[in-house]
Amino acid sequence: MSSIFDFSDFYAALKSDGLEKWLLPFRSALESFAARPDGNLAMWVDALDHLPDVPVCASAVNVPAVSAFTAEALDTGLKACLEDALLRLRPWRKGPFNICDILIDAEWRSDLKWARVEPHISSLSGRKVLDVGCGNGYYLFRMAGAGAASVIGIDPSTLFLAQFKAMQKFVRQPGVFFLPVGFEDLPPEMETFDTVFSMGVFYHRRSPFDFLRSLKMLLKKGGELVIETMVIEGDHLQVLVPPGRYARMNNVWFIPSAMAMIHWLTKAGFVDARVVDICQTTVEEQRATRWMPGESFECCISPDNPRQTIEGLPLPIRAVFVATRP
């Protein structure tokens, strides 16, 4: 089995945290993922194998561009080798990262979202944190930078795993783990985490109330849910169910209004549910770059009406909600 699927550090962390009872289900889910055929696996592993060893002397994770530094600038050949290997892991959806003066300018300016989220949540200092649908792990590093004792991210993607492994090779942040498993693979009702994040996932779930209840049962009593999702304008009765694609995505099921989302969170058993930020998605925050070539948000906007998607539906508005498990 490729070392890309080496999760021994995570298993050791479970034991040290007294969570041995979850070891078997996690191991089973991870081994099952590793056994799935993936035509791109060899390509991702080869890119990781070609990442050169560089003399990193420091890193920074509580900054917009998660960074690793060397005491002196890399020579031209070594820097070119590093950049080439990182480019082979495209597309980079979340970032930015700055690895030895190579800026990975990802499709999403994820630092802008984190700047909207962080001021409104409980301090992460000393907390056990789970990020559901973590992408390549950009937010995992930012959560660690905010003081979390341990951070686990889940996303069933070999590419995201490879990107995380590449970043961790240089950033070397302890207590941060990426697991390529789906939400359904988590042990049910863990009641383990102080904070659970779910950002950019909710509208992809077919059963929103089952999803919210499952998120609640991952939290300790008194734990906090932070959920970021698309919303529409309207009162507590307004919900958009796209008849087909939405902003070129074919797996968008429910987009409630902000008021409806608060109602749903309350009905799912949370207390103190509130919206803490609402903003319009823009081409400054999501766009094509050298690190994510191809179509991006600008291709989702109607050429006839800049306030509508290409399908003639309202443009995405994104909102951040915070709620507590009683």
pLDDT for 202-220, tens place per residue? 999 999 999 999 999 999 9
Asked whether the predicted pLDDT for residue 224 surpasses 70, the reply is yes
Pairing, β 56-60 against β 66-70: antiparallel
Phi, psi at residue 226, to the nearest 5°?
A: -120, 115
Q: Mark out the alpha helices in 178-312 (DSSP H runs).
A: 208-218, 258-267
Let me know: does 256 contact 231? Beta carbons within 8 Å: yes
Asked whether the predicted pLDDT for residue 1 surpasses 60, the reply is no
Percentage of the residues of the chain whose pLDDT score is greater than 90: 97
Burial zone of 164 (CB within 10 Å; 0-12 exposed, 13-18 middle, 19+ buried)? buried
Domain limits at 49? Answer: 3-324
Asked whether the predicted pLDDT for residue 125 surpasses 80, the reply is yes
Q: Burial code of 284-300, b = ≥16 C-beta within 10 A, e = fewer? A: ebbbbbebbeeebbeeb
Q: Is the dihedral of CA 216, 272, 225, 233 positive or negative?
A: positive
Let me know: does 300 contact 310? Beta carbons within 8 Å: yes
**Distance of alpha carbon 219 from alpha carbon 185, whole angstroms:** 16
The structural domain count of the chain equals 1
The whole-chain average pLDDT of the chain stands at: 96
pLDDT band at 281; cut points 50, 70, 90 = very high
| Partners of 280 in beta bridges | 317
Q: Round to the nearest angstrom and report the end-to-end CA distance of the chain.
A: 43
pLDDT of res. 2: 61
Q: What is the mean pLDDT of residues 53-58?
A: 96
Asked whether the predicted pLDDT for residue 42 surpasses 50, the reply is yes
pLDDT of res. 307: 93
> pLDDT tens digit string along 72-110?
999 999 999 999 999 999 999 999 999 999 999 999 999
Q: Which of 21, 46, 47, 45 is CA-nearest to residue 34? A: 45
Q: What is the mean pLDDT of residues 281-298?
A: 96
pLDDT of res. 19: 87
Asked whether the predicted pLDDT for residue 123 surpasses 50, the reply is yes
3-state secondary structure at position 275: strand
pLDDT of res. 13: 95
18: left (phi over 0), alpha (psi -120 to 50) or beta: left
Let me know: does 35 contact 62? Beta carbons within 8 Å: no
CATH of the domain at 31: 3.40.50.150
Give the angle 168-24-29 at the CA atoms, nearest 5°. 60
